[in-house]
């Protein structure tokens, strides 16, 4: 660059007073030790004939914490975009799958000292004549510091901060009466492609018309909230919507009907084959408390064009395994499998 004798220009940067106060506060406050309580196990199973179970709360912090335990009814379900969420029905105490009314936890409120552990005992008292099956609840463990440390920083903006952490953890509770079983049956499968393929809105429209026969009113409407008589695109004979010209990802949308008297917990394996070559494969944990629509995302090992996907074989298969539950504790049931070649009409 050519030399210049021009004097450098000094620019002044102006910061709002509130921002300066916030930065000073971040420098002045010491790093707080972890206050998050540790709760184990993260899933509670009470088998047939068992009277209860135990959950342990560990306080790893340097100050005592207060632990409060409540029981609610909730389960996983899919929304209109097939995203899995936990729902808490208003009829949680009267729902035919709820165990809230005949479960008790002790103690419901307790102080746990620094570094200490506290056992929370869950007692099951099912009513006489209760039908064979699996019943559910959610055990909410809320922890908060008993002492709320505070530090004030004097400034023109009167910035004051009070530090305290409250954590909530909801643990699924399964109570089994008799010998329940749970299986899935795939009824509709079809891909959604992110590169110009079916949009979520289009997928919802294309999925209209499948009739559910599961629990919670599925006989009246689809899991995605739509109504109809027939499915024009997600056909059981394997005819699938055409993708974009090229894609690196395949999102498979599928509907599974739940059969049996319990929730299905397991793994789902999805594969895409062609001429003996695996184009994509994913295995993910799944939980079905009733029939519904779900999605699984397949990352193709390499970008594929439409002609390359023609005739590829798509398979879905349930596996009796789950990362949160021991295999021996999973409900028995038949394996579900779907297999269909991809073709474009």
pLDDT per position as a tens digit, 252-290: 899 999 999 999 999 999 999 998 899 999 999 999 999
pLDDT(333) > 50: yes
- CA distance linking residue 324 with residue 235, whole number of Å: 34
Residue 335: how many other CB atoms lie within 10 Å: 11
Which pLDDT belongs to residue 193?
53
Lowest mean pLDDT among 41-50, 63-72, 93-102, 145-154: 145-154
318-328 pLDDT, tens digit each: 998 888 888 88
Strands 337-341 and 313-319: antiparallel
pTM of structure = 0.71
User: Which of 309, 298, 229 is CA-nearest to residue 274?
Assistant: 309
Edge-to-edge order in the sheet of strand 103-106: 38-40, 52-58, 117-124, 103-106
Q: What percent of the chain has pLDDT over 90?
A: 52
Q: How far apart are CA 165 and CA 142, in angstroms?
A: 11
Average pLDDT over residues 338-343: 83
Q: For 222-236, how does the pLDDT look when each residue is reduced to its tens digit (9 = 90+)? A: 333 333 333 333 334
Sign of CA dihedral 226, 231, 237, 238: negative
pLDDT of residue 166: 83
How would residue 148 be classed by pLDDT, with cut points 50, 70 and 90?
low
Q: Which long-range contacts (CB under 8 A, 24 or more apart) does 157-161 make?
A: 157/17, 157/18, 157/21, 159/18, 159/21, 159/22, 159/25, 161/25, 161/29
Query: Residue 86: CB partners within 8 Å, gap ≥ 6?
Result: 74, 75, 76, 77, 138, 170
- Residue 253's closest CA among 213, 302, 197, 307? 197
pLDDT exceeds cutoff 70 at 35 = no
Indicate if the pLDDT at residue 154 is higher than 70. Answer: no
CB 338 within 8 A of CB 254: yes
- The CA distance from 46 to 54, in Å, is 10
Q: What is the pLDDT of residue 99?
A: 96
Closest CA to 340 of 318, 316, 317, 314: 314
Residue 293 has pLDDT above 70, yes or no: yes
Strand 167-177 to 44-46 pairing: parallel
Alpha-carbon dihedral sign for residues 54, 55, 61, 63 = negative
Buried-state track 207-235, b at ≥16 Cβ within 10 A, e below 16: bbbbbbebbbebeeebbbebeeeebebbe
Q: How far from chain centre, in Å, is Cα 47? A: 24
The region of weakest confidence among 22-26, 58-62, 121-125 is 22-26
The values of phi and psi at residue 211, to 5°, are: -100, 120
pLDDT higher than threshold 80 for residue 4: no
For 94-137, how does the pLDDT look when each residue is reduced to its tens digit (9 = 90+)?
A: 899 999 999 999 999 999 999 999 999 999 999 999 999 999 99
Whether the predicted pLDDT of 86 surpasses 90: yes
> Residue 103: its pLDDT value, please?
97
The confidence band for 37, taking pLDDT boundaries of 50, 70 and 90, is confident
Residues with Cβ < 8 Å from 269, sequence gap 6 or more? 281, 282, 283, 315, 316, 317, 318, 319
Is the pLDDT at 53 greater than 90, yes or no?
yes
Q: What are phi and psi of 10, to 5 degrees?
A: -100, 125
Condensed to tens digits (0 to 9), the pLDDT of residues 196-223 reads 343 333 333 333 333 333 333 222 333 3
pLDDT at 124: 96
pLDDT average, residue stretch 167-173: 93
Taken in order of first residue, the domains within the chain and their CATH numbers are: 17-25+33-177 (2.60.40.10), 182-341 (no CATH)
């Amino acid at each position: 660059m050519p030399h210049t004798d021009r004097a450098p220009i000094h620019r002044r940067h102006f910061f709002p007073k509130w921002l300066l106060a916030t930065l000073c506060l971040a420098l002045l406050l010491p790093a707080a030790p972890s206050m998050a309580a540790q709760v184990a196990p993260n899933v509670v199973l009470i088998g047939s004939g068992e009277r209860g179970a135990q959950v342990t709360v560990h306080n790893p912090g340097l100050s005592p914490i207060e632990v409060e335990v409540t029981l609610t009814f909730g389960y996983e379900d899919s929304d209109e975009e097939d995203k899995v969420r936990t729902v808490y029905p208003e009829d949680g105490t009267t729902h035919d799958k709820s165990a809230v009314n005949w479960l008790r936890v002790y103690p419901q409120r307790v102080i746990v000292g620094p570094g200490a552990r506290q056992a929370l005992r869950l007692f099951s008292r099912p009513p006489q004549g209760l039908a064979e099956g699996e019943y559910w609840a959610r055990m909410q463990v809320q922890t908060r510091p008993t002492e709320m440390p505070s530090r004030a920083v004097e400034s023109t903006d009167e910035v004051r901060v009070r530090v305290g952490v409250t954590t909530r953890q909801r643990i699924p509770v399964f109570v089994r009466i008799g010998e329940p079983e749970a299986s899935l049956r795939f009824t509709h499968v079809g891909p959604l492609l992110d590169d110009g393929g079916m949009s979520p809105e289009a997928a919802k429209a294309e999925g209209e018309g499948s009739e559910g026969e599961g629990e919670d009113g599925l006989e009246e409407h689809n899991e995605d909230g739509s109504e109809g008589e027939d499915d024009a695109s997600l056909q059981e004979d394997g005819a699938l919507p055409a993708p974009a010209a090229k894609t690196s990802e395949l999102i498979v949308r599928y509907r599974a009907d739940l059969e049996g008297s319990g929730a299905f917990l397991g793994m789902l394996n999805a594969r895409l084959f062609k001429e003996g070559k695996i184009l994509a494969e994913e295995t993910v944990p799944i939980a079905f408390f009733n029939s519904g629509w779900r999605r699984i995302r397949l990352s193709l090992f390499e970008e594929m064009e439409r002609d390359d996907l023609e005739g590829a074989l798509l398979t879905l298969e349930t596996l009796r395994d789950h990362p949160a539950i021991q295999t021996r504790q999973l409900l028995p049931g038949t394996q579900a499998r779907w297999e269909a070649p991809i073709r474009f009409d």
